[in-house]
């Protein structure tokens, strides 16, 4: 990879900017567009179709017709499996283009999009394809005079509204299981990162997935997104994004047709280091990565570091060194580990919180400056705050940037109380060499995922989602496929 000149290749990259409806690239019905900008240099990447109610109505009509026709929904699972495997293979073949699109559109380092985002997208589709012909329905244990079946059927039309921090991966976590289960899927990518979704729809079409089974409507949340969430003929809204928008979508589902509504939302995840940690360097380096990876724009960012008092000074000393290895740079350079912030609004939000932290009395230990302004791009140095107390906003609120809040604790009980003192419950981490501490702590932590002696471990086999206001659904694993099906009970009386 070191030998590839991604900057030159990205300059000549060809990509589409239309909506993808009924197997075709198309403009929005209104002809409206919105600008798509590269956050690494401020340059216009293209004007993208700005879909609204009219496009949503059309795409939903197509999705329903295709669903009812059975061209996808009624295929044998082995047939859907084969089609999705072909699709996954085509994504894999296009790894470099997909990675470059994610990098220029969302500011993510090319090393990450090549090493994670693009292959993880293909893997997710392939995993769900592999799973779908291995799921059995149930026969209930009833008397010999009856046969009682519990079967799973696809929901129908699934609308997926997704964020910009991992545009393709977050989409694939919805698309993979929903398509495998036989649904028609409409994706509304974030207006901040629409390009990979459009490209993935083109690849699905090229791989032979029937027209109308997977459509993409680029556009804004309050337009295309809201129209999908309120639509009377959408059976399920599946969302990844902020808690504020997730709450709105639950309301929209209730106000319209009680569509199934699955929300994957924000986090303020605690990362606890106990003084008996086996490898303090590993723990500290991981804590730095947990807040710096993807510019801190990660729902599971380890944004609250809780450190036991005896090792506090040592951890801070090592943390200062570790954080400095994460420095912003051109996302298309293979050596860059911190890319660009998605847009001006997000950059202002991060800088505002850095000011708030200082005003609240926390100590800014390092970083926190906007840098590389001469590039025309948006970059902030990762930063660390110490002396953070539970009342402070930087302890409580999701920033979605590399702003680490460090708090000291004495006992296991205190660590758990601090960790659970949050409206969120997405992830948590524990570093200890004591199995009882690890198990007691992970049981007590109110979080959908607990990492013991690691951060961000996991693969497609494990469910991913939140407790509390981090959400109500689970992506990944067989549990995700379950979300995209209805359960039917059939009672047959025998003569």
Point out the residues that are catalytic. Answer: 264
Q: Which of residues 61-90 bind ligand NAD (CB under 6 A)?
A: none
Binding ligand NAD by CB under 6 A: which of 111, 197, 216, 245? 245
- The minimum distance between CB 371 and ligand NAD, in angstroms, equals 22
- Minimum CB distance to ligand NAD smaller for 107 or for 182: 107
The DSSP H or E segment spanning 322 is helix 312-324
284 contacts: CB under 8 Å, gap ≥ 6: 273, 315, 318, 319, 322
Binding ligand NAD by CB under 6 A: which of 127, 164, 353, 431? 164
- The minimum distance between CB 447 and ligand NAD, in angstroms, equals 11
Give the DSSP per-residue string, 4-50.
--HHHHHHT-----SEEETTEEE--TT--EEEEE-TTT--EEEEEE-
- Minimum CB distance to ligand NAD smaller for 184 or for 346: 346
Give the binding range for ligand NAD (CB under 6 A) out of 23-31, 158-166, 404-412, 429-437.
158-166
- The minimum distance between CB 191 and ligand NAD, in angstroms, equals 5
- The minimum distance between CB 347 and ligand NAD, in angstroms, equals 13
399 contacts ligand NAD (rule: CB under 6 A): no
- The minimum distance between CB 269 and ligand NAD, in angstroms, equals 10
60 contacts: CB under 8 Å, gap ≥ 6: 157, 186, 228, 231, 233, 234
203 contacts ligand NAD (rule: CB under 6 A): no
- Decide: helix, strand or coil at residue 61: helix
Binding ligand NAD by CB under 6 A: which of 19, 99, 100, 299? 299
- Smallest CA-to-CA distance from 159 within 63, 27, 75 is with 63
One character per residue 466-485, x = contact with ligand NAD (rule: CB under 6 A): x---xx--------------
Nearest-angstrom CA–CA distance, 289 and 300: 12
95 contacts ligand NAD (rule: CB under 6 A): no
| Neighbour count for residue 252 (Cβ, 10 Å) | 20
225 contacts ligand NAD (rule: CB under 6 A): yes
Nearest-angstrom CA–CA distance, 313 and 419: 20
CA angle 424, 292, 353 (to 5 degrees): 60
One character per residue 258-287, x = contact with ligand NAD (rule: CB under 6 A): ------xxxx--------------------
Q: Kindly state the tokens that stand for 323.
A: 């954080």
Binding ligand NAD by CB under 6 A: which of 66, 104, 170, 171? 170
Pairing of strands 403-409, 449-452: unpaired
403 contacts: CB under 8 Å, gap ≥ 6: 291, 296, 303, 350, 353, 354, 357, 368, 382, 383, 385, 394
One character per residue 323-362, x = contact with ligand NAD (rule: CB under 6 A): ----------------------------------------
- Minimum CB distance to ligand NAD smaller for 193 or for 336: 193
167 contacts ligand NAD (rule: CB under 6 A): no
- The minimum distance between CB 185 and ligand NAD, in angstroms, equals 15
Strand partners, 491: 148
Binding ligand NAD by CB under 6 A: which of 165, 286, 432, 477? 165
Nearest-angstrom CA–CA distance, 380 and 383: 9
- The minimum distance between CB 245 and ligand NAD, in angstroms, equals 3
CA dihedral 87, 93, 98, 100 (to 10 degrees): 180
222 contacts ligand NAD (rule: CB under 6 A): yes
190 contacts ligand NAD (rule: CB under 6 A): yes
236 contacts ligand NAD (rule: CB under 6 A): no
- Decide: helix, strand or coil at residue 472: coil
Pairing of strands 383-386, 363-366: antiparallel
Chain contacts with ligand NAD (rule: CB under 6 A): 161-165, 170, 188, 190-191, 220-222, 225-226, 229, 240-242, 245, 248-249, 264-267, 299, 398, 400, 426, 466, 470-471
């Amino acid at each position: 990879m070191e030998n590839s000149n991604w900057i030159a290749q990205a300059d000549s990259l060809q990509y589409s900017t239309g909506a993808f409806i009924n197997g075709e690239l198309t403009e929005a019905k209104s002809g409206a567009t919105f600008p798509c900008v590269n956050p690494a240099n401020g340059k216009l990447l293209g004007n993208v179709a700005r879909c609204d109610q009219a496009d949503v109505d059309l795409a939903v009509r197509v999705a329903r017709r295709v669903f009812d026709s059975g061209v996808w929904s009624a295929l044998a699972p082995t047939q859907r499996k084969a089609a999705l495997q072909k699709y996954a293979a085509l994504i894999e073949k296009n790894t470099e283009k997909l990675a470059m699109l994610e990098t220029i559109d969302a500011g993510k380092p090319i090393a990450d999009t090549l090493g994670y985002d693009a292959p993880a997208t293909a893997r997710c589709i392939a995993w769900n394809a592999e799973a779908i012909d291995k799921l059995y329905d149930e026969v209930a244990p009833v008397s010999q005079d009856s046969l009682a079946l519990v079967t799973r059927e696809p929901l129908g039309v699934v609308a997926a509204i997704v964020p910009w921090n991992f545009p393709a991966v977050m989409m694939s976590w919805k698309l993979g299981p929903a398509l495998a289960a036989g649904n028609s899927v409409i994706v509304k990518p974030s207006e901040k990162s629409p390009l990979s979704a459009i490209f993935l729809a083109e690849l699905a079409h090229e791989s032979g997935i029937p027209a109308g089974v997977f459509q993409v409507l680029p556009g804004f949340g309050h337009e295309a997104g809201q129209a999908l969430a309120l639509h009377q003929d959408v059976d399920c809204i599946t969302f990844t994004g902020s808690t504020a928008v997730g709450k709105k979508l639950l309301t929209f589902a209730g106000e319209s047709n009680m569509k199934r509504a699955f929300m994957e939302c924000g986090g303020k995840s605690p990362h606890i280091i106990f003084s008996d940690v086996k490898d303090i360097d590993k723990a500290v380096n991981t804590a730095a990565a947990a807040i710096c990876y993807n510019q801190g724009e990660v729902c599971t960012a380890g944004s609250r570091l809780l450190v036991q008092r005896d090792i506090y000074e040592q951890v801070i000393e090592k943390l200062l060194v570790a954080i400095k290895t994460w420095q912003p740079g051109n996302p298309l350079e293979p050596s860059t580990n911190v890319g660009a912030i998605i847009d001006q609004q997000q950059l202002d939000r991060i800088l505002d919180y850095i000011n708030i932290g200082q005003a609240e009395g926390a100590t800014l230990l390092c970083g926190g400056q906007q840098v590389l302004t001469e590039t025309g791009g948006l970059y902030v140095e990762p930063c660390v705050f110490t002396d953070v107390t539970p009342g402070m906003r930087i302890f409580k609120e999701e920033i979605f940037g590399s702003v680490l809040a460090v708090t000291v604790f004495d006992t296991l009980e205190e660590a758990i109380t601090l960790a659970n003192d949050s409206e969120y419950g997405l992830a948590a981490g524990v570093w200890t060499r004591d199995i009882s501490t690890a198990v007691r702590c992970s049981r007590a932590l109110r979080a959908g995922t607990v990492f013991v002696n690691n951060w961000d471990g996991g693969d497609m086999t494990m469910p991913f989602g939140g407790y509390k206001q981090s959400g109500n659904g689970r992506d990944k694993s067989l549990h995700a496929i379950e979300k995209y099906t209805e359960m039917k009970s059939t009672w047959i009386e025998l003569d």
